[in-house]
Amino acid sequence: MSVDNCKSICREIEESDYGANLTGSAIEHLRGCRQCQRFYDERLKLRQLVANLETVAAPADFDLRVRSRIANERVGRRAEFWSSNFTFGIPSVALASLVLLIGGVFALRTWNAPTSKTVAKQSGAPETNGPGPQREQPSSNGSAARPNPDRRDVATGSGGTSEVTQPDRKPKRNRPFRSAVASSKNGGRVATREFSSTLAPVIKKEDAVASLESPVFPIETSSQPLRLSLDYSGGISRTISVPALSFGSERVLVRGSSSLVKSSPKGAW
């Protein structure tokens, strides 16, 4: 008995249909080969065991359930058809994210653009600027102006009073303003709007002081809430309203060569 012959017989046994007779040569071989005979017997028993597994019956309501599922699917498809226009797929979400991102970047740029532009303008041409740069210039009698944190530059615009260094009551909503205050404290330039270029009359501090005999000059609107208007070049303007002060104000005014500290009654600055 050759090994090749045994292999081919085993293959024949393996591939034969269950219950089918083997070829004559295979039967002849099995009679003389113990190993192949044992393999045949094992395989036959195994296939008998497996083939004896009974067919499992489907439940009685199987057809009904299939019909029901198909009907449900049809209803689902109809609903899907109507709601398909309103579903948010991945492309829609991506598009929405992109739009939000672009919008966010644009808003951020719009928010930051006026401050940086004004600072750049003022640093580029300090002489022509309004009240801010004038603080740096020496006074008329030659003495250098002492940096005074309490001193304020006043510019009256069209119907309102603007004070650049007004303390911020709403810090979160006025970030450029806060940064301007911070930069002024650090000795940097104050980022403000130049009102001299507008049609509104500009009252400079020196003029206001010079026109008054007394260093105390009243502001007619002191009984009203103090309003600070910041007009950005980007078309955005902000108004900060500070309630009227209920205490007497104290200001240091430079007049001539001496500094005067005056206490003024309520309603006078």
Residue with structure tokens 């400079």? Answer: 204
3-state secondary structure of 219: coil
End-to-end CA distance of the chain: 126
- Nearest residue (CB) to another protein, 8 versus 174: 8
Q: Does 136 bind another protein (CB under 8 A)?
A: no
Q: How far is the CB of 53 from another protein (least distance, A)?
A: 6
Helix (H), strand (E) at residue 259: strand 258-263
Q: Does 20 bind another protein (CB under 8 A)?
A: no
Contact 252, 151 (CB under 8 A): yes
Q: How far is the CB of 171 from another protein (least distance, A)?
A: 54
- The Cα-based distances of 257 to 47, 143, 149, 205 in angstroms read 121, 8, 19, 16
Q: Considering only residues 64-83, where is the footprint of another protein by CB under 8 A?
A: 65-67, 69-70, 73
Q: The tokens of 38 are what?
A: 């044992």
Pick one of 46, 101, 102, 105: the residue that binds another protein (CB under 8 A). Answer: 46
* Residues touching another protein, count (CB under 8 A): 28
Contact 237, 226 (CB under 8 A): no
Q: How far is the CB of 104 from another protein (least distance, A)?
A: 40
Q: How far is the CB of 42 from another protein (least distance, A)?
A: 6
Q: Does 261 bind another protein (CB under 8 A)?
A: no
Contact 183, 235 (CB under 8 A): no
Residue with structure tokens 């009243």? Answer: 218
Binding segment for another protein among 61-69, 134-142, 164-172, 199-207 (CB under 8 A)?
A: 61-69
DSSP string, 106-158: HHHHHHHHHHHHHHHHHHH--TT--HHHHTTS--TTSPPPPP-TT---EEE-S
Q: Does 58 bind another protein (CB under 8 A)?
A: yes
Q: Considering only residues 155-214, where is the footprint of another protein by CB under 8 A?
A: none
- Nearest residue (CB) to another protein, 47 versus 204: 47
Q: Which residues bind another protein (CB under 8 A)?
A: 14-15, 17-18, 42-43, 45-47, 49-59, 62-63, 65-67, 69-70, 73
